[in-house]
């Protein structure tokens, strides 16, 4: 069983990916890794990543690093669970560049919407942190939800009206 990833291990992962991956590309941190680096969680069960564009050679590097660092690394991002938000790359906060790899947090608005839709206890706590820290603007969050609303039919597991209700509740609780 692997250990949970704290800020130090996440930074070790970032540095090792940057130094050992031979191609150019972008790596987006998602979920718990974002929460740990922003400081409202001390650790996360796994480090979720999105690769776009995918750096050449990164999969062999990840395979080695998950064992060396003894952490879970998953390829997962909000656009696997809800429609990709328009212009998500431009809203993805920059973290650092190491070697030929640029590191970002995946669009915080997309992360919040995916967490609201999923609705797990830890997700809702994370949403409250994003809103309280003013990392996402409630009005912009609603606008971006509206932008993907008609695309939700492509995700049969999602009830669009229930998703809107959960968003309304999250925004109301923030007041």
The token pair at 167 is: 């968003």
pLDDT digits (tens, 9 = 90+) for 11-51: 999 999 999 999 999 999 999 999 999 999 999 999 999 99
The token pair at 7 is: 């800020």
Which position has the higher pLDDT, 37 or 174? 37
Instruction: Compute the average pLDDT of residues 104-113.
Output: 98
Q: Is the dihedral of CA 164, 74, 10, 60 positive or negative?
A: negative
Listed in sequence order, the DSSP H helices in 39-159 are 58-68, 108-118, 121-132, 138-148
pLDDT for the residue 2: 86
Record the pTM.
0.95
* Nearest C-alpha neighbor of 160 from the set 84, 107, 82: 82
Q: Which residues of 81-99 are buried (b: 16+ CB within 10 A; e: fewer)?
A: bbbebeebeebbeebeebe
């Amino acid at each position: 069983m692997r250990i949970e990833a704290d800020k130090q291990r996440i930074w070790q992962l970032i540095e090792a990916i940057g130094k050992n991956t031979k191609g150019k590309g972008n790596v987006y941190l998602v979920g718990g890794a974002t929460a740990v680096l922003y400081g409202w969680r001390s650790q996360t069960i796994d480090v979720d990543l999105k690769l776009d564009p995918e750096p050449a050679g990164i999969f062999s590097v990840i395979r080695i690093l998950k064992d060396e660092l003894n952490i879970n690394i998953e390829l997962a991002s909000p656009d696997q669970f809800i429609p990709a938000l328009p212009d998500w790359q431009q809203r993805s906060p920059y973290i650092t560049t190491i070697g030929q790899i640029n590191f970002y947090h995946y669009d915080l608005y997309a992360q919040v919407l995916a967490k609201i839709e999923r609705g797990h206890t830890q997700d809702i706590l994370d949403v409250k942190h994003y809103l309280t820290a003013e990392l996402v603007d409630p009005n912009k969050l609603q606008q971006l939800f509206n932008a993907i609303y008609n695309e939700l039919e492509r995700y049969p597991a999602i009830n669009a009206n229930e998703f809107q209700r959960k968003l309304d509740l999250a925004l109301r609780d923030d007041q």
